[in-house]
């Protein structure tokens, strides 16, 4: 497999990639058109920043972005802080219930959010967590926790057991074991877990739309004010969409190697 693939494989690969990427390409182009030009697919147009200016004038974009960043990072850190010890415990002290516990954790993700919105809304209201970043962080942490535990569990499982046995004979305790042996070995995997959690939190649109209004509103709320307005709107919509997905897209691309390595949930052996 070291030789180059035949030319048509390259064409096929690039062709498929282009088709899959096309929708994103279209908004990336439309964002720089005027509203009048936006409705034709022509590539002959004078690029303009008009739509971006309008979007910036209308919405406090940086406010939405920073909320998105706080919420994604906050919930990712919290998820990992809870998940790593749990995964450690499940991986190295499996017991009879380990599998059942993992299964059960995943099953909590199957609860449809729409069915429990009102209970959660009322709880958030009572605890004064409506429209607060803390509130969203708590929700996202809970949503992502099962995935985090499972992924971390997978990485810990890949750590050669002999090393741990040796360390234990040397009298290392569990904390030392985790800090000095496990974390370094599993770190790349945990980094990719973190990335995946950031992506999921960034793109979550149901809870953010319902539990935040001003103080905690992330980019999903920002987008909701550009969908379906009156009149010509494709260019503005494209500009806003591009602004909403660009940060996470760039992050995803930069970190894709990492992501590819880690996002296998123990599937690749």
Partner 1 sequence: MTQQVLNATVAPLPPGETLTPAAQPRSKLPLASLMLTPSVAVLFLWMLVPLLMTLYFSAIRYNLLNPDQTGFVGIDNYRYLLEDPAFWPAVGHTLTLIGSVLGISVVGGLLLGVLFDQPFAGRGIARLLVIAPFFVMPTVSALIWKNMILHPVYGLWANIFRAIGLQPIDWLAQYPMWSVIVIVSWQWLPFAFLILLTALQSLDQEQKEAAQLDGAGPIRIFVYITLPHLSRAIAVVVMIETIFLLSIFAEIFTSTAGGPGTETTTLTWLIYSIGLQQFDIGIASAGGVIAVVLANVVSFFLVRMLSKNLKGEYEK
Partner 2 sequence: MNKTLTTAIAAAFVGLAGVASAATVTIATINNPDMIELQKLSKTFEQANPDIQLRWVTLEENVLRQRVTTDIATGSGQFDLMTIGAYEAPIWAAKNWLTPLDMPANYDVNDVIKTVRDGLSLKGKLYAVPFYAESSMTYYRKDLFDAKGLKMPEQPTWTDIQGFAEKLTDKAAGVYGICLRGQAGWGENMALVGTMVNTYGGRWFDQSWKPTIDTPEWKKAVTTYVDILGKYGPPGASANGFNENLVLFGSGKCAMWVDATVAAGMLYNGKESKVADKVAFAAAPQGTSPKGAHWLWMWSLAVPKSSKNQAAAQKFAAWATSKEYIALVAKDKGWASVPSGTRESTYANPEYQKAAPFASFVLSAINTANPTDATVQKVPYIGVQFATIPEFQSIGTVVGQNVAGALTGKLTIDQALKNSQASTERAMKQAGYLK
Q: Which of 205, 213, 214, 215 binds partner 1 (CB under 8 A)?
A: 205
By a kind-dependent CB cut-off of 5 to 8 A, residue 125 interacts, out of partner 2, partner 1, none, with partner 2
Question: Applying CB under 8 A, does 187 fall inside the site for partner 1?
Answer: no
**Residue choice 53, 66, 108, 176 for contact with partner 1 (CB under 8 A):** 108
149 within 8 A of 87, measured Cβ to Cβ: yes
Residue 76 near residue 194 (C-beta atoms within 8 A): yes
- The residue range among 48-56, 57-65, 124-132, 235-243 that interacts with partner 1, by the rule CB under 8 A, is 235-243
- The torsion defined by the Cα of 81, 249, 247 and 50, in degrees rounded to 10, comes to -160
Rg from Cα positions in the chain = 23
66 binds partner 1 (CB under 8 A): no
Using CA atoms, how far apart are residues 83 and 95, in angstroms rounded to an integer?
18
User: If binding is defined by CB under 8 A, does position 88 make contact with partner 1?
Assistant: yes
Minimum CB distance to partner 1 smaller for 133 or for 140: 140
To the nearest whole angstrom, how small is the minimum distance from the Cβ of residue 184 to partner 1? Answer: 18
- Per the listing, tokens 């995803």 go with 252
45 versus 265: smaller Cβ distance to partner 1: 265
The answer to the question of residue 203 lying near partner 1 (CB under 8 A) is yes
- Distance, in Å, from the CA atom of 61 to the CA atom of 242, rounded to the nearest integer, reads 12
Question: According to the binding rule CB under 8 A, does residue 124 interact with partner 1?
Answer: no
Pairwise CA distance, residues 191 & 259, whole Å = 8
Residues 211, 138: Cα–Cα separation, whole Å: 12
Near partner 1 by CB under 8 A, which window of 43-51, 58-66, 124-132, 218-226? 218-226
Q: Does position 128 bind partner 1 by CB under 8 A?
A: no
Under the binding rule (CB under 8 A), the answer on residue 107 touching partner 1 is yes
Contacts of partner 1 in 143-172 (CB under 8 A): 145-147, 149-150, 153-154, 157-158, 161, 164-165, 168
d(CA 194, CA 204): 15
What is the H or E stretch that residue 2 is in? none
């Amino acid at each position: 497999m070291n030789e180059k693939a035949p030319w048509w494989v390259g064409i096929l690969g690039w062709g498929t990639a282009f088709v899959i990427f096309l929708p994103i390409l279209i908004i990336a182009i439309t964002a720089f058109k005027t509203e009048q030009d936006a409705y034709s697919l022509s590539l002959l147009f004078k690029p303009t920043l008009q739509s971006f200016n309008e979007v910036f004038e209308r919405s406090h974009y940086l406010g939405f972005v920073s909320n998105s960043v706080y919420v994604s990072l906050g919930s990712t850190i919290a998820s990992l802080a809870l998940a790593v010890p749990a995964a450690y415990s499940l991986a190295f002290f499996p017991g009879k219930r380990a599998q059942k516990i993992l299964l059960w954790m995943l099953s909590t993700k199957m609860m449809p959010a729409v069915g429990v919105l009102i209970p959660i809304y009322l709880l958030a209201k009572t605890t004064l967590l409506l429209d607060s970043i803390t509130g969203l962080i708590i929700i996202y942490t809970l949503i992502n926790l099962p995935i985090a535990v499972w992924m971390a569990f997978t990485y810990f499982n890949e750590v050669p057991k002999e090393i741990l046995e040796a360390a234990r004979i040397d009298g290392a305790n569990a904390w030392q074991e985790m800090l000095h042996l496990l974390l370094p070995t599993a770190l790349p995997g945990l980094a990719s877990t973190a990335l995946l959690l950031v992506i999921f939190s960034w793109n979550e649109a149901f809870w953010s739309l319902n539990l935040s209004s001003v103080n905690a509103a992330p980019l999903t709320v920002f987008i909701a004010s550009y969908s379906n307005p009156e009149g010509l709107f494709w260019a503005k919509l494209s500009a806003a969409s591009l602004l909403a997905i660009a940060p996470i897209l760039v992050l995803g691309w930069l970190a894709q190697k990492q992501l590819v390595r880690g996002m296998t949930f123990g599937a690749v052996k």
